[in-house]
Structure 1
Amino acid sequence: VGKLFGIARAMKSGIGSAALGLEGRLASVRGAALAAVNAFGDVRDPENGKLVAGARTAPDGIELADTAQRMRAGEGVRAFGRNTTLAVVATNARLTKPQATQLARLACAGLARALSPAWTTVDGDIVIALSCGALESPLDALGVAAAEALALAIVRAVRHAPTLGGLPGLAR
């Protein structure tokens, strides 16, 4: 992640997952997300807005540059074509095919909460939704849970990534 200055100043990411349950009378309904994170942008913690991982100001440093801020200041995007975040959101609620499509759209909010920037011209981000249950649940409630789970899964993907091949990771 954080490839504004090229791979030499990026950070390691990986696979993250998270699951959340709905509340009250919907407590038996679950929403989960699995994300393979190889984004161009940085990862922010949606709880506090702080950068977690991303483009580093120097190849051997740990200070983060804030890709979105640098882009607003005119820093150019290098065309890589090798960036993407692939995500699956799942629920134990019953969904029709159109509802699954809408759930995927709603879950995309999780990408925007955790990736900064998300959906750049050099990213190939996608979210797919699936249902493996028969419980009834309002689609919007599922969408809220799916977006929250996806944002958490993205943050976990960088927090649990070990250093590998010269790319620093956050896992100890």
Structure 2
Amino acid sequence: MDDHNNNKNKKALFKEVFGDSSDSEDNEQQTQQPQLELELEEEGHHQNPSWEQIKEIKGLWLCRDFLSPPQQSSLVSAILNEGWFTEPSHNQAMRFGDLPAWSSEISNSIRELVLLCDPVDLGTYDEAKEACPFPSDLLRREPLFDQLIVNVYQPGDQCTY
């Protein structure tokens, strides 16, 4: 009986902290969401994305030029169409499990870009082990990501760490 109440309390706490589950029984709504078409090389736009390790924060990498300006606009539109930010006070959305299709496309593009990464660009072989954006066991995981956090910043707002 105590386990049942304990699980019930945990579920209530998770709901309070994270909101309703992203696992939706309304699959029709999810299939109608706009698709984000990501290609690492678009017609008329040759991207040259590059990985940069942020040495001050272990495990943090930045991929410059990952999305072209049109892809960025498409991504912002897809996020806004989710309806997560309908109130001015809502500036963050967290999702776990079943993620929108556009986020899977981004995950696939990230995996592809990491796999295309030339170890020579990352330094010597020993350095390349530490200087890889993702460990090989993570790259084999399906899906690559199963959690999503989206933050909205207004003009003039700064990202805080």
TM-score w.r.t. the length of structure 1 is: 0.27
- By percentage of residues, which structure has more helix? 2
Bigger Rg over Cα:
2
- By percentage of residues, which structure has more strand? 1
TM-score w.r.t. the length of structure 2 is: 0.28
